[in-house]
């Protein structure tokens, strides 16, 4: 049975992961509205990944005999000043989520909950990839600057991203 402190923290993380999905779906809508369909595709895939993350926490709590308490999801922004501004926000958001995951690891250590700590290690590794992925797009957008050709090339590249369901033990 998972203890109350871990249960409460994981329920907060479910909310944070669903908000992340909501944020990226909003970004996908923004990109579609300015005819950057590749950017929109990238964000839709990101939104799907975040829902999977929420479900991992959901299923983990259930497996440990915990109670899932879903809360209201705040509405995300709907407009950004530029594609670069949107991806900079995505990068900052991933840094925030990394902090949340690190805090969960700290709680699992404080509570001596080794199962939760082991479960969280997948997310620790995942956040390294999440931050790197968002930052790579930020850096490419900075390189492209105001050149439409560069933005077009990035849009085409981002449009090739496809959702792949995780197959790791934590993702099963």
Give the pLDDT confidence of 39-97 residue by residue, as tens digits: 999 999 999 999 999 999 999 999 999 999 999 999 999 999 999 999 999 999 999 99
Over residues 30-40, the mean pLDDT reads: 97
Contact 82, 137 (CB under 8 A): no
Q: Is the pLDDT of residue 168 over 70?
A: no
Per residue in 129-165, pLDDT (tens digit) is 999 999 999 999 999 987 888 999 999 999 998 888 8
Q: Is the pLDDT of residue 170 over 80?
A: no
Contact 136, 150 (CB under 8 A): no
Question: Helix/strand/coil (H, E, C) string of 39-105?
Answer: HHHHHHHHHHHHHHHHHHHHHHHHHCCCCCCCCCCCCCCCCCCCHHHHHHHHHHHHHHHHHHHHHHH
Q: Is the pLDDT of residue 172 over 70?
A: no
What is the pLDDT at residue 148? 85
The domain 4-70+79-164 is classified under which CATH number: 2.30.40.10, 3.30.2040.10, 1.20.1260.10, 3.20.20.140? 1.20.1260.10
Q: Is the pLDDT of residue 167 over 80?
A: no
Give the global pTM: 0.92
Q: Is the pLDDT of residue 171 over 90?
A: no
How far is the C-alpha of 119 from the C-alpha of 104, rounded, in Å?
11
**Cα dihedral 82/87/89/94 (nearest 10):** 170
């Amino acid at each position: 049975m998972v203890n109350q402190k871990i249960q409460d923290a994981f329920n907060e993380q479910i909310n944070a992961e669903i908000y992340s999905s909501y944020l990226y779906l909003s970004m996908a809508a923004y990109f579609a509205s300015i005819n950057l369909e590749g950017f929109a595709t990238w964000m839709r895939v990101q939104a799907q990944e975040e829902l999977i993350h929420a479900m991992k926490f959901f299923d983990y709590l259930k497996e440990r005999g915990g109670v899932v308490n879903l809360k209201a999801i705040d509405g995300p922004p709907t407009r950004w000043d530029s594609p670069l501004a949107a991806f900079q926000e995505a990068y900052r958001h991933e840094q925030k989520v990394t902090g949340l995951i690190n805090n969960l690891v700290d709680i699992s250590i404080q509570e001596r909950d080794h199962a939760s700590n082991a479960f969280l290690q997948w997310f620790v590794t995942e956040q390294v990839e999440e931050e790197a992925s968002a930052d790579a797009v930020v850096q490419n957008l900075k390189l492209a600057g105001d050149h439409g050709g560069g933005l077009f090339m990035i849009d085409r590249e981002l449009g090739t991203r496809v959702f792949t369901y995780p197959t790791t033990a934590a993702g099963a």
